[in-house]
Chains A and B, each alone.
Chain A
Amino acid sequence: MTALFLEVYKTVGKRKEEEGLGEATDYAVRMHHVTKTFGKVVANKNVDLELKNGEILALLGENGSGKTTLMNMLSGIYFPDHGEIEIHGTPVTIRSPRDAFDLGIGMIHQHFKLVDVMTAAENIILGLDGKTTVNRKEINKKVGELASRYGFETDPAKKIYNMAVSEKQTVEILKVLFRGADILILDEPTAVLTPQETKKLFAVLRNMKADGKSIIIITHKLNEVMAISDRVAILRKGEYIGVVETAATNQAQLTEMMVGRPISLAIDRPKRECGEERLEVIGLTCLNGEGVKTLDNVSFTTYSGEILGVAGIAGSGQKELCEAIAGLCPTIAGSVLYSGECEGENCVSRERILGLKPDEIVKKGISMAFVPEDRLGMGLVAGMDMTDNVMLRSYKNKKGFLVDRKTPKNVAEKLIEELEIVTPGVETPVGRMSGGNVQKVLLGREIALSPSVLIVAYPVRGLDINSSYRIYDLLNEQKKKGVSVIFIGEDLDVLMELSDRIMVLCGGKVSGIVDPREVTKEDIGLMMIHVEEEVPVCK
């Protein structure tokens, strides 16, 4: 690591010569030893970060590494517990977003901060000082001019609730520019964009850089880091790892810094017997609230004893796919057929389960487990203790009016022991546990249902390495038991090493189902942005 830092400091000198400025004003932002905790969770620990004038700095880190928290302190949303912040060489205190604006800092949040019932222009001038009255014609004109200067297309008089996601992002960026911010922070701006829109955005960012703005872009996508940034700062588990010149690094080095271990994850992949058919999904199609297809004619088959990985850019239909199969998301076309195990005479024939509510699926005697992406918002009840959460899916099993807490309590105690869940006891609300332990409770409960199909969405998001490996082991155990596992992942390396087959989604369509041993990561990356018509089956 020391060698790395040396390299960094060597390159710093070059820029200084160019601008002929002293050390203090060479930097737009300097954060020093910044710490922020939420309750017992340490989100940032002694983080240092420096942003030079007129550069694009990528802030890289896995989910849950504290990138957003760090930036929220810069934009005045959070107040740091410790540490100092300097803007253009002057120590400052940023107590509120207002303070941040006054310092020329503007942040484009991942979840857009726009008022739905107002127009783009109204949103843009929100909170600004100016004349008592709002002259809508004038501000629309001003906003329009600003937009065309940076090459945006937008209608200033359009209401936000009528806008598509990329339009909303445009408004967010304009809002910040309108305020004359010269330090821009973008939080995962590409997560919601198509590749074309991403390209456009990057062009705009380069324009802004040429205009003298300093930009921080938060991301965990390496290709984007390489494409847009001048330097990369890396966070891991809330700690600052280091900074490198983009030109002097490569994806392998960045990954190493980001995850802290070599690229080979060495996840077990037990040998798979080509099992029997379990789920057959045919032509599944879903619409979202605005009538856009979130799933478009999705067809695939899962088999017992395999892990089917699902890859794709965020928002390519993963959530809808899980929820449609689990009976939580209405569909407009297609079918899901379940084939049960045959044990002698007890053969469950093929059942159409699409359109059934979760409890109706259970009533059919089908044991389908689902670990949703939103753990505390959907999978678990944050305010309830472990016992009550464990019985969430099984409390109806026992007949009668009263609920049985003895069995779930035993299950909960068993889970604590077997999965090494760290908690004061079964009576502690799960919302108070750490992310890894929460996930263990959720996955443990679902596995305790002894399912024949197990759907897991982003099971290791925000988890530390050890917990992640424990989760992989659990999934493999289930696979060995003959469960058909559908694994929605975001980390391609993990997907490649864990899955028996990978289905790639792109814009709600299946762009292919591949054997990870026969393709490269780049192949899958390409499939994530292109749809091809070729669907291999279980060999």
Chain B
Amino acid sequence: MQVKSTQVKEPLLRMVKRDTLSPRKAWGIRGIAFLLSLITGGVLILILGHNPFLVYKAMVVGSWGSSTVIHETVKLAVPLLITAIGISFAFKMKFWNIGAEGQILVGAVAAGAFGLFTAHIFPKLPLVILMLFAGMTAGGLYGLLPAVCKAKWGTNETLFTLMLNYIALAFVKYLMNGPWKAPGSSFPKIAMLVPGARLSKVLGVHWGWILALILVVAAYIYFNKTKQGYEIAVVGESNNTARYAGINVSRVFTRTMFLSGALCGLVGMLQFAGADYTITEGTAGGVGFTAITVAWLAKMNPIGMLGVSVFIAMLERGANTIQTNFKIPASASDLLIGIILFFMLGCEFFVTYRLIFRGKEEQHA
């Protein structure tokens, strides 16, 4: 009554969790996915009637070819990097803060409150410190709100933080149209920060880039070497374990979300005082969303985020070049970023699972 196993049909394809994959193999998979995404993008460019190699080359040259464009690229990378670091604070404890956009905006507004209206009172240094402090506090408090509700009632933070983005955006528009409208302007816009209060430049870019690099190191130390970083990791893995270990989960939630929001608020201040010198509805400009993917791709590792954010800044900057050189619309960068992210997200599956085809088990472990 024995049946041979060949007669019994297995599913055509099934998957099994891998034990562990050597880091080299894992990075190999990610490398292949990255190449595939570039090829997909290349095919798209080809269909549009351009030479993909030339277009890619123009993007690289357009973002690294001269000191002017390098400055532009760095200027794009700084907010992305700091926001990604900020977001990773929340994501490490599995708190899905997708409200960075809003936190950036309120940070910018709070900094603006001092920068625009007290510039004649304070000298530059105290003013900058005030703006910095105000931006971070405002961003932090804006991040605190959903954290408190989550800790108290378990309110879904994904949707909450998402809604806060649009409230902040509407508030900025209100300021542009009403109370903060630049005197004498027919357009709804906020006045420019006086040149004397703008952030000083170091090597051609406002000093935010130095701060960003310091934050990379600081965040790395915070996550890996401090008690608070350890607590975040425990809470992220299991609330139950955290309670068992005597960690006050609510306090970790609120403290970490304050820090997360504060870093995003800092970005708002930097954008206002260092890059745009004013506040518009585009001050955050999607950075809060793109940064999520930066943090995710870097697996919440600050050093990895440095690399990813510089890369994405390069794509965005390079897209401007191909618009002028090839008449390819600059929105191509979003398209390309999307494609690359899709591939990178998908490839993680092959790092965690392996597939078993029918009749082909046990051969490869």
A residues in contact (CB < 8 Å) with B? 23-24, 30, 32, 38-40, 79, 81-84, 86, 91-93, 95, 326-328, 357-362, 370, 372, 374, 377-384, 388, 391-393, 395-396, 401-403, 432
Query: Is B10 part of the binding interface, using a Cβ–Cβ cutoff of 8 Å?
Result: yes
Compute the total of residue contacts between A and B using a CB distance below 8 Å: 95
Contact assessment for B244 and A403 in the assembled complex, using a CB-CB cutoff below 8 Å:
no
Give the contacts of B261-279 with A (CB-CB under 8 A): none
Minimal Cβ-Cβ distance residue in A for B361: A81
Query: Is B57 part of the binding interface, using a Cβ–Cβ cutoff of 8 Å?
Result: no
Chain A residues whose CB sits within 8 angstroms of the CB of B233 once the complex forms? 381, 384, 388
Chain A residues whose CB sits within 8 angstroms of the CB of B8 once the complex forms? 84, 91-93
Contact assessment for B227 and A403 in the assembled complex, using a CB-CB cutoff below 8 Å:
yes
Minimal Cβ-Cβ distance residue in B for A359: B246
Contact assessment for A381 and B227 in the assembled complex, using a CB-CB cutoff below 8 Å:
no
Contact assessment for A357 and B248 in the assembled complex, using a CB-CB cutoff below 8 Å:
yes
Contact assessment for A84 and B2 in the assembled complex, using a CB-CB cutoff below 8 Å:
yes
Contact of A388 among B14, B230, B248 (CB under 8 A): B230
Chain B residues whose CB sits within 8 angstroms of the CB of A403 once the complex forms? 225-227, 229-230
Stretch at the interface among B103-111, B178-186, B192-200, B235-243: B235-243
Contact of B11 among A79, A83, A327, A391 (CB under 8 A): A79
Give the contacts of B23-64 with A (CB-CB under 8 A): none
Contact assessment for B241 and A380 in the assembled complex, using a CB-CB cutoff below 8 Å:
yes
Query: Is B66 part of the binding interface, using a Cβ–Cβ cutoff of 8 Å?
Result: no
Contact of A383 among B20, B237, B244, B361 (CB under 8 A): B237
Contact of A24 among B1, B14, B238 (CB under 8 A): B1
Give the contacts of B10-24 with A (CB-CB under 8 A): 10-11, 14, 17, 19-20
In whole angstroms, how far apart are the Cα atoms of A32 and B5 in the complex? 11
Known: A39-B19, A370-B244, A396-B246. A82 touches B237 (CB 8 A): no
Known: A91-B8, A374-B240, A380-B241. A39 touches B17 (CB 8 A): yes
A-B CB proximity, top 3 nearest: A359-B246, A358-B246, A91-B3
Distance of B93 from chain A, by nearest CB (Å): 12
Known: A81-B361, A384-B237. 15 other contacts (CB 8 A): A40-B19, A79-B10, A79-B14, A91-B8, A92-B8, A328-B243, A359-B247, A377-B241, A379-B241, A380-B241, A384-B234, A388-B233, A393-B246, A395-B227, A403-B226
Minimal Cβ-Cβ distance residue in A for B18: A39
Query: Is B7 part of the binding interface, using a Cβ–Cβ cutoff of 8 Å?
Result: yes
Contact assessment for B241 and A392 in the assembled complex, using a CB-CB cutoff below 8 Å:
yes
Known: A377-B238, A377-B240, A393-B245. A401 touches B227 (CB 8 A): yes
Chain B residues whose CB sits within 8 angstroms of the CB of A380 once the complex forms? 241
Distance of A83 from chain B, by nearest CB (Å): 8
Minimal Cβ-Cβ distance residue in B for A24: B1
Contact of A378 among B14, B17, B227, B244 (CB under 8 A): B244
Query: Is B9 part of the binding interface, using a Cβ–Cβ cutoff of 8 Å?
Result: yes
Can you list 28 residue pairs at the A/B interface with Cβ under 8 Å?
Answer: A30-B1, A39-B19, A79-B10, A79-B14, A81-B361, A84-B8, A91-B3, A91-B7, A91-B8, A95-B10, A326-B244, A327-B246, A357-B248, A358-B243, A358-B245, A361-B246, A362-B246, A372-B244, A377-B238, A377-B240, A378-B241, A381-B233, A381-B237, A381-B238, A392-B245, A396-B227, A402-B227, A432-B20
B residues in contact (CB < 8 Å) with A? 1-3, 5, 7-11, 14, 17, 19-20, 225-230, 233-234, 237-238, 240-241, 243-248, 361
Chain B residues whose CB sits within 8 angstroms of the CB of A378 once the complex forms? 238, 240-241, 244
In whole angstroms, how far apart are the Cα atoms of A328 and B240 in the complex? 9
Contact assessment for B11 and A95 in the assembled complex, using a CB-CB cutoff below 8 Å:
yes
In whole angstroms, how far apart are the Cα atoms of A211 and B91 in the complex? 55
Minimal Cβ-Cβ distance residue in B for A38: B17
In whole angstroms, how far apart are the Cα atoms of A221 and B3 in the complex? 34
In whole angstroms, how far apart are the Cα atoms of A81 and B238 in the complex? 31
In whole angstroms, how far apart are the Cα atoms of A32 and B240 in the complex? 41
Distance of B217 from chain A, by nearest CB (Å): 14
In whole angstroms, how far apart are the Cα atoms of A381 and B225 in the complex? 17
Distance of A118 from chain B, by nearest CB (Å): 22
Chain B residues whose CB sits within 8 angstroms of the CB of A374 once the complex forms? 240
Chain A residues whose CB sits within 8 angstroms of the CB of B240 once the complex forms? 374, 377-378
Distance of B320 from chain A, by nearest CB (Å): 42
Minimal Cβ-Cβ distance residue in B for A363: B246
Known: A359-B246, A370-B244, A379-B241. A84 touches B5 (CB 8 A): yes
Minimal Cβ-Cβ distance residue in A for B11: A95
Distance of B62 from chain A, by nearest CB (Å): 41
Chain B residues whose CB sits within 8 angstroms of the CB of A358 once the complex forms? 243-246
- The interface centre, meaning the residue of B3, B7, B14, B17 with most chain A CB atoms within 10 A of its CB, is B3
Distance of B132 from chain A, by nearest CB (Å): 22
Chain A residues whose CB sits within 8 angstroms of the CB of B238 once the complex forms? 377-378, 381-382
Minimal Cβ-Cβ distance residue in B for A398: B227
Chain B residues whose CB sits within 8 angstroms of the CB of A357 once the complex forms? 246, 248
Distance of B357 from chain A, by nearest CB (Å): 14
In whole angstroms, how far apart are the Cα atoms of A83 and B237 in the complex? 37
